[in-house]
Structure 1
Amino acid sequence: MAIKVYVPCDSTALSLGANKTAEAIVAEAKKRGLEIELVRNGSRGLFWLEPMVEVATNKGRVAYAPVFPKDVPSLFEANFLTGGAHALNLGLTEELAWLKKQQRLTFARVGITNPISLDDYLAHDGYKGLKNALQMTGAEVVKTVTDSGLRGRGGAAFPTGIKWNTVLGCQADQKYIVCNADEGDSGTYSDRMVMEDDPYVLIEGMTIAGIA
């Protein structure tokens, strides 16, 4: 059975050489006659550790970082495919101090799934919200969103329910959903991570808004 090896395809990871690291891992595995499944996941957000490579083991995903092509042969020598000891071994990813105390909601799948795999999205609770919305009227969807207290992720934190209710009350033959992908605030990258690392959640949210 092929061992899953995760190498991020997030733009930050790519800028730091993730593609070359991925290529080196595939080449080294082939050279050694080892079967691996390379998964291009999103970044966990620890950009100072990119490219961060994770390996699926029976104890969980083990992180190695930062991994560059020159490090790959020594990782194989250290049996990193089974979580072997190495200077770059950070331990179980979920136990990393920066991640352990976080409760991820918007970023729940980021870094875990393959961003362009619909099957992966569905396997991690994707489209459950849409399935629920399809059983409701537009007014019921808006009320649910309003009652949830959901707010925009910009600086104003404007209540989403108020926006949706305003559109619901507008009389028009045709209405449109517009995705504002501009991150105008300096140093703001949260929306980029959603679009790159969990794009189906954006599509699902826009679809629910369209139903409402």
Structure 2
Amino acid sequence: LKDGPDRVKTLLKWKEWVTEPRDDPATHCFAKCVLEMSGLYDAASGKFDASVIEAQHKAYPNSEDKGKVDALVKAVQALPPTKNDCTAVFRAFGPVHMAHKATSINLFHDNKALTKEIYEKLGKDIRQRKQSYFEFCENKHYPVGSPKRSDLCKIRQYVVLDDAQFKQHTDCIMKGLRYITKDNILNCDEIKRDFKQVNKDTGALEKVL
């Protein structure tokens, strides 16, 4: 989304699951990005995938009524293969989003009233709202009072340790930042995107990726 007088207003709409302006290519690409990152759309095959919805409800069965979840699953499964194009994906999924938006909000943890109990119950086992992945992964793999907590002093200075605990910690951060996919594939585009966000040249980076 480009800078401009309407940027903040548009971002706030997207945050509230309102995909407007509907004729803006930026909205289309934002929606496609969300669908890909959540696993609902696979760019390689051009297919929509409802399995992530079923998995989410299995993990958090109290987040939404099963009948509504089944209706959303059925709607996604009925979508035809769609070419890897922002506008095409947006138009294909748009009616499903509009019809099942409330269900999606509940299911994917954006209803604060429903998710408060989940965050409180899982505590340190789930990344809390506004908590960085660095803090979450440190507390998960090097909790306060643990024998290797002091290793964080080295890790924060970018020292690479040769043990399983450090590898798990690194995997936690890299997947949290989406630098590695759930299938353990390096996400080069996401890494380069972050470099560009802070106005860093990606030339040297691209040579090693």
Which interval holds the TM-score relative to the shorter structure? under 0.3
Question: TM-score when scaled to structure 1?
Answer: 0.26
Which structure's CA Rg is the greater one? 1
Question: TM-score when scaled to structure 2?
Answer: 0.27
* Greater strand content: 1
Q: Which has the higher contact order (CA 8 A, sep 6+)?
A: 1
* Greater helix content: 2
